Structure 1
């Protein structure tokens, strides 16, 4: 009986891996920077380091790019995010590299936020520097996500995707949803011409 369960489980795993990799084929830029999904590849990770109750893991854990690829067949939101990501990767070659691909694998929503804000800055006429040192010349200086110059003044931008403390996350609702900053409300002045 255990042998049949294991065999069935590995078959499901292979079907999931195949579905993810088939979906990935439709995104050539993304495919060029992330490795194919394998049977040992995690689909999500526990950002609370093992403190999420087992029965809520699938609701609260953070998705990787592979879970988004798998979910894009049923979720318009995931499908839209992947289409936008592919568009931005084709437009901004500075992000089309294996290092950014690995960051997408490790933390999809944080990296999606990063490239989305980069796009917003570019659309508003800015030329953002990516990962600038905050203190030049100091080799161990902290890096910001972006630096823009407004009227001769350097402005450093640091992005983060906050999550509630676990006890609040568990109380929030029966099925917590990831909450995103609404970029339509992003307040940035247009660069003077």
Structure 2
């Protein structure tokens, strides 16, 4: 049986800080969740369920990261695939799509806003892979795909779950 490879102290410290940061973030979420009402709602859980769940998972993940850092670290892990540096152009396209959706959703409705967000995100991801953005035909196809993904989600939320999302028309179907 081989002994684990020793990780340099500075690297171990940095990895431990990441684990401690996740634990601290989880504890901060838990502290914030204390003030949220706990009365059970429609689905049998209260509004504080999700914040408590996120807090618990952050603390557990942080604990696992800390344990890993203290017991050999991530030295033997393979390098992640992809570029060595971030692709800022792709990030700009994806961010622009999210911001456009947030700014336009009240004016154009949920379905069209999400379809536009999808177009921008796909363009950014294609550019990150070094592929052409798609041209006019590709953009139209991306919009149609985004529309076909967003429309059923909109209908499920508004018709089945009775959750109000901004629509383009007053009918509740678009």
TM range (shorter): under 0.3
Greater gyration radius:
2
TM-score normalised to structure 2 length: 0.24
TM-score normalised to structure 1 length: 0.23
Higher helix share: 2
Higher strand share: 1
